[in-house]
Structure 1
Amino acid sequence: MQCNDVQATEPDIKVSLTRVGVTNLKKLVKLKRKNKRDIVLLPTFEVFVDLPSSQKGIHMSRSPEVIEEVVENILLEKEIYGVEDLSVEIVMKLFEKHEYATRAEVMLYSDYMMEEKSPVTKKDSQEIGKIIARAYGVKDSNGKIAVKKMVGAEVVGITACPCAQNMLKENAAVNLTERGFSNEDIEKILDSVTIATHNQRGIGTVMIEVPNGYTVGISKIIKIIKDSMSGEVYELLKRSDEAFVVEAAHKNPKFVEDCAREMIKRVVDVFDYLPEDTQVLVRQVNKESIHRHDAFAERNSTIRELRDELKTLTN
């Protein structure tokens, strides 16, 4: 008995779906890099296509097959240097496998190991960040496919709250006054000591579109995120390192909004060569220590809009 193509039949409820596919798909990937060591990753994929109202379902097994085919075959034949390029290859293959689709999307997330040294004792350690890639393709009525790709990173750091620190500084000044210290002495004392505040574990994310003919370095994105928070966090710290990290963060207090704006400015400065219509996503989430909720700030914009705003501030 021949098996019918159930997916190709008409559905009972004729409504189109925006995204249908698979998530939490893991696959070992080896990326080649120019004049550098190859990178081995274990990314998690999310793969989607749209579904017309006339079709009951997508051929679900084809999406994992695409990942398998691209990783096992195309990467052996072609030099692919970035996760965003890998995502584009997958999107194009999705259109081949799902001929009914007019939109296809791939999201890729992977841990990324970085070699670090502790700030004082210079102890070697491995730090983990997360790299992200996205490719999104649209097929027009003539069968022409346009694909946009983005690459980014997510990095954990530390933030120190400016508001609580300022309140504790004011309380300290009052206490010192009551104990007979002069205003001059109080100013010297407060300038000499590190004022306490509550901390958050900050999670910064930057995603940048990669136009055709341009490159966007993930290492540069990671550095931007690290430098935009109150301080870095490290896997391995000796006592002198811990003191340095805590003091450095408290000397550089930042709100969640400060971190997001700092990332925006650094993105505009570092990637000044990108076209003005390049899409940029910046997000900061601070895991609060004295609240049950978290703090959130985000900007989704183009390089042009961000440049214009920053120019307005400096004029």
Structure 2
Amino acid sequence: MSKVQKQKKQLPSKKERHQLFGSVPPGPRTKPTEKDKMPDLQNTNKDFLFELDAVGIQNVKHPIVIHSKMKPYNQTTIGTFTFSSSIRQESKGTNMSRFTEQLNRYYENGFTLDIKMMKSFTKELAERLKQKDATMEVTFPWFFERKGPDSELPGMNHATASIRVEYHAEEDFDIKVSLEGTITTLCPCSKEISEYSAHNQRGKVSMVTDLTDDFDEEEIDWKQALLEAAESNASARIHPVLKRPDEKMVTETAYENPRFVEDIVRLVAADLYEMPFVKVFDVKCVNEESIHLHDAMASIHYDKTKMID
């Protein structure tokens, strides 16, 4: 088959190409270029009608290092950050650049993401912003090793973890940690009415917990604790590597432990209730149903600080 020869193009210069597609020469420069001579609208002080609950930036992606009591013990992952503070009625706005400026400074100093670091960060941020409070929240994929129950062949699973630290000059810190883990559930109703088999599905268990003031992250890995609360109450655990003997064990375990979404949230709630470092918790389970087009869900909120002896 003959090839059609194309004549080589003679392109205009890059500058001429940019002009062709709309670029124009710079206009006259009349405004100051020195920072101290530039107007600072965000620092304007007037009566701006309302105090704002939160002003800041979100969806900031940044590499982070975290520790875990499960392999891999030290890991680098990607954090998605939100930073904010309240704004007084007489303040027009906040200094957005200070959020990422401080994040980069902490990163260059080799920070490891943990609650202690986030408490230091939010207190310093509030002081830099000259505000009474500051909030830092980061969500990240947390990886952990999971072995096949029979073969013990390892692989990497992951859950979505989140830490939220709020600093208040008068009230100190509020700390929330969250985890969303994946489980297997087998339908009790299907098992009960069928001559053989039962349908199962993948479920998502999400937990949001308020930690006590005396929580010791050196002693307890909250990620591991919440993951265990979700997985140990499921029909079966999720595995990255399964050989046939492993698969037999997992499917039989699921059959022996049927669970509705209602069962899951109650059982997980019981585990969180027994954790002394948890004050308040929310649990939600969503099942991606295998024989329906809809999902099944259940949730519970419980405040242990309101218990009466």
Q: Is 1:18 matched up with 2:53?
A: yes
Deviations 1:239-278 (A, max 9, x none): 2222322222122111112111111111233x24x48xx2
Q: Report the counterpart of residue 255 of structure 1 in structure 2.
A: 260
User: How far does residue 219 in structure 1 lie from its aligned partner after superposition?
Assistant: 1.5
Q: Do the aligned residues in 2 keep the contact of 1:70 with 1:89 (CA within 8 Å)?
A: no
Q: Structure 1 145/12 Cα, relative in aligned 2: closer, same or farther at 3 Å?
A: closer
Q: Report the counterpart of residue 8 of structure 1 in structure 2.
A: 43
Structure 1 residue corresponding to 2:153, chosen from 97, 111, 123: 123
Partner SS for 2:215? coil
Q: Which runs of 5+ in 2 are unaligned?
A: 1-31
Q: Do the aligned residues in 1 keep the contact of 2:182 with 2:238 (CA within 8 Å)?
A: yes
Q: Report the counterpart of residue 294 of structure 2 in structure 1.
A: 293
User: How far does residue 26 in structure 1 lie from its aligned partner after superposition?
Assistant: 2.0
Q: Is 1:87 matched up with 2:118?
A: yes
Q: Do the aligned residues in 1 keep the contact of 2:123 with 2:133 (CA within 8 Å)?
A: no
Partner SS for 1:42? strand
**C-alpha distance in 1 between matches for 2:135 and 2:300:** 22
Q: Do the aligned residues in 2 keep the contact of 1:162 with 1:255 (CA within 8 Å)?
A: yes
Q: Which letter maps to 1:163?
A: C
Partner SS for 1:43? strand
Q: Structure 1 301/167 Cα, relative in aligned 2: closer, same or farther at 3 Å?
A: same
Q: Structure 1 4/211 Cα, relative in aligned 2: closer, same or farther at 3 Å?
A: same
Query: 1:207-226 counterparts in 2 under 5 A?
Result: 207-215=208-216, 216-217=220-221, 218-226=223-231
Partner SS for 2:226? helix
User: How far does residue 197 in structure 1 lie from its aligned partner after superposition?
Assistant: 2.8
Structure 2 residue corresponding to 1:53, chosen from 89, 102, 114: 89
**C-alpha distance in 1 between matches for 2:199 and 2:148:** 23
Q: Structure 1 129/306 Cα, relative in aligned 2: closer, same or farther at 3 Å?
A: farther
Q: Do the aligned residues in 2 keep the contact of 1:66 with 1:93 (CA within 8 Å)?
A: no
Q: Structure 1 93/307 Cα, relative in aligned 2: closer, same or farther at 3 Å?
A: same
**C-alpha distance in 2 between matches for 1:236 and 1:246:** 14
Q: Do the aligned residues in 2 keep the contact of 1:264 with 1:306 (CA within 8 Å)?
A: no
Q: Which letter maps to 2:185?
A: T
**C-alpha distance in 1 between matches for 2:308 and 2:75:** 34
Greater radius of gyration (CA):
2
User: How far does residue 226 in structure 1 lie from its aligned partner after superposition?
Assistant: 0.8
Q: Report the counterpart of residue 186 of structure 2 in structure 1.
A: 160
**C-alpha distance in 2 between matches for 1:16 and 1:119:** 56
**C-alpha distance in 2 between matches for 1:244 and 1:32:** 31
Q: Which letter maps to 2:207?
A: V
Structure 2 residue corresponding to 1:234, chosen from 231, 239, 254: 239
Q: Do the aligned residues in 2 keep the contact of 1:231 with 1:252 (CA within 8 Å)?
A: yes
Partner SS for 2:49? coil
Q: Report the counterpart of residue 282 of structure 2 in structure 1.
A: 281
**C-alpha distance in 2 between matches for 1:116 and 1:51:** 46
Partner SS for 1:92? helix
TM-score (normalizing by structure 1): 0.75
User: How far does residue 279 in structure 1 lie from its aligned partner after superposition?
Assistant: 2.2
Partner SS for 1:237? coil
Deviations 1:4-61 (A, max 9, x none): 1111236896333322222221222234689x95443322111121223333322111
Deviations 1:177-228 (A, max 9, x none): xxxxxxxxxxxxxxxxxx4333221111233333333224221221111112
Structure 2 residue corresponding to 1:136, chosen from 146, 166, 190: 166
User: How far does residue 156 in structure 1 lie from its aligned partner after superposition?
Assistant: 0.6
Q: Structure 1 292/23 Cα, relative in aligned 2: closer, same or farther at 3 Å?
A: farther
TM-score (normalizing by structure 2): 0.76
**C-alpha distance in 2 between matches for 1:235 and 1:33:** 19
Q: Which letter maps to 1:136?
A: E
**Structure richer in helix, relative to its length:** 1
**C-alpha distance in 2 between matches for 1:224 and 1:160:** 18
User: How far does residue 150 in structure 1 lie from its aligned partner after superposition?
Assistant: 2.5
Q: Which letter maps to 1:84?
A: I
Deviations 1:115-147 (A, max 9, x none): 1111122211111122221111223xxxx3511
User: How far does residue 306 in structure 1 lie from its aligned partner after superposition?
Assistant: 7.1
Partner SS for 1:27? strand
Q: Report the counterpart of residue 68 of structure 1 in structure 2.
A: 104
**Identical counterparts, % of pairs:** 25
